[in-house]
Amino acid sequence: MTNWPDDDVILYDGVCVFCSRWVQFVIARDTAKRFRFTPIQSPYGTRLAQAFGIDPRDPDTNAVIHAGRAHLKSDAALTVLSNLPGWGWTRALFAVPKPLRNAVYGVVARNRYRIFGKFESCFVPDAELRRRVLE
């Protein structure tokens, strides 16, 4: 595993409507403002993606760096959710076999633009959020 100097960073597809809504979902519930965000289309996000073997031109996963480790696909989503206030119960979903979790994740990831749409450019955060975005 590649080490990364920053922790609690969520890498997401900045032009994906679903992915941007995921970021907004996390922001609304992350009362401690623990997580920071980087779109894969930013220079920082591209470097992060490449370090973890994600193609920044055709990303098939989001990722989160947590406790010094990179988590991908369903592990990333569950890691983030389980660290939000009131969402600790989602840790139980780690008991679902990873191949099954990732298969479901993959169906959504492959069809996200078709189902949810795509922005012409990256989601632009407001001033409050901008302090938590790494570019």
What is the pLDDT averaged over residues 1-8? 68
Q: Is residue 116 part of a domain?
A: yes
User: Does residue 131 lie in a domain region?
Assistant: no
The encoded tokens of residue 44 equal 């920082």
- 2 lies in some domain: no
Q: For residue 85, what pLDDT is reported? A: 96
Residue 73 lies in a domain: yes
How many distinct structural domains can be found in the chain? 1
Whether 1 maps to a domain, the answer reads: no
C-alpha 66/C-alpha 83 separation (Å) is 10
Containing domain of residue 115, as a range? Answer: 9-125
Give the pTM. Answer: 0.84
Does residue 78 lie within any of the structural domains? yes
Query: Which of 9-23, 96-110, 112-126 shows the lowest mean pLDDT across its residues?
Result: 112-126
pLDDT tens digits, 69-107? 889 999 999 999 999 999 999 999 999 999 999 999 999
Q: Cα separation of 100 and 8, whole Å?
A: 25
Q: State the burial class of residue 32 (Cβ atoms within 10 Å of its Cβ: 0-12, 13-18, 19+).
A: exposed
38 bridge partner residues: 11
